[in-house]
Amino acid sequence: MKLTTWNINGIRARAHALLQRLVKTEPEILCVQELKADLTKIPETFKSLADYDVFWNPSTFKAGYSGVGLFVHRAISEQYGKPKFSIPNFDAENRLIQAEFGKFVILGIYAPRGEKPEHFAFKLNFFDTIRTYLQTLMNEGREVVLTGDINIAHKEIDLHPSQRDERNTGFRPEERAKIDALLEIGLKDVYREAHPNEEGHYSWWNYFPKGAREKNIGWRIDCTYASPALASKAMRAVIQKEEASSDHSPVSVEFRL
């Protein structure tokens, strides 16, 4: 099973690129972030795809802000049963989306950036709630995946040396501790497990400094965390840098199920 996460930075701006990605790479499950559109503004072509069931948590909190979507290939539904889509009741700002296949649960996330103090506090609480929720599922014997734009670079290896300032939002100690807490309950960072000591692997490049993508001055903040048994079945994890239409590149993980 190929699972891909991609912050598309606007579904209307990225409509053509997203359709191409579905055709060229054929992910069985695709989580997208930053729709920046409510249901009336999501292009009609995504509402009647031949091969995918699609579920939205669109931008209703604020126009042109946030929003997530989840694409599930019908071949997966035929194999594991039709997914049960939902928006967790602790969602805020249209940031979470979920699919369940029996004991297998995928939680898609667009984490807050947290630049302002009140939003930074919101971000920390957001991760605390997610940790408690996932731990409860795992205690029930569920296999879980948390995937999306995490908006935290966990370790120094996860961002360019020029960006390793602990005053930078996304790399502050309090945020990084929230990733430690996810790992403490048994979740595995699937991409880092596949590339344990390799530097220069980034999924997001800011628009400043100029030429950051070309110079690979980036951050790895688009991640997939999986429960141990599921993580052990990961065969491959790839950042698809060739897709450069957004400020984020898609990140794919292939599992042997």
Range(s) of the domain holding residue 86: 2-255
**Known catalytic residue: 149?**
yes
Burial of residue 102 (CB within 10 Å: 0-12, 13-18, 19+) is exposed
Number of domains in the chain: 1
State yes or no: pLDDT of 208 exceeds 90: no
pLDDT tens-digit profile of 36-81? 999 999 999 998 899 999 999 999 999 999 999 999 999 999 998 9
Spatial separation of the C-alpha atoms in residues 167 and 169, rounded to whole Å: 6
State yes or no: pLDDT of 209 exceeds 90: no
> Choosing from 52, 91, 110, 222, which is the catalytic residue?
110
Provide DSSP, 6-65: EE-S-TTTTHHHHHHHHHHH--SEEEEE-----GGGS-GGGGS-SSEEEEEE-S-SSTTS
Prediction pTM value: 0.98
Per-residue pLDDT band for 250 (boundaries 50, 70, 90) equals: very high
User: Which residue in the block uniquely carries the two structure tokens 């997001």?
Assistant: 204
CB-CB contact of 159 with 218 (8 Å): yes
Spatial separation of the C-alpha atoms in residues 228 and 230, rounded to whole Å: 5
Spatial separation of the C-alpha atoms in residues 93 and 68, rounded to whole Å: 10
Spatial separation of the C-alpha atoms in residues 63 and 38, rounded to whole Å: 7
pLDDT tens-digit profile of 157-204? 999 999 999 999 999 999 999 999 999 999 999 999 999 999 999 999
> Choosing from 149, 158, 189, 222, which is the catalytic residue?
149
**Known catalytic residue: 110?**
yes
Q: What is the 3-state secondary structure (H, E, C) of 191-249?
A: HHHHCCCCCCCCCECCCCCCCCCCCCCCECCEEEEECHHHHCCEEEEEECCCCCCCCEC
- At residue 19, the pLDDT reads 97
Question: pLDDT averaged over the chain?
Answer: 97
Q: For residue 78, what is the domain's CATH number? A: 3.60.10.10
Cα four-point dihedral sign 188, 178, 96, 70 = negative
Residues with Cβ within 8 Å of residue 231, at least 6 apart in sequence: 187, 188, 190, 193
Pairing of strands 52-57, 68-73: antiparallel
Mean pLDDT over residues 237-244, rounded? 97
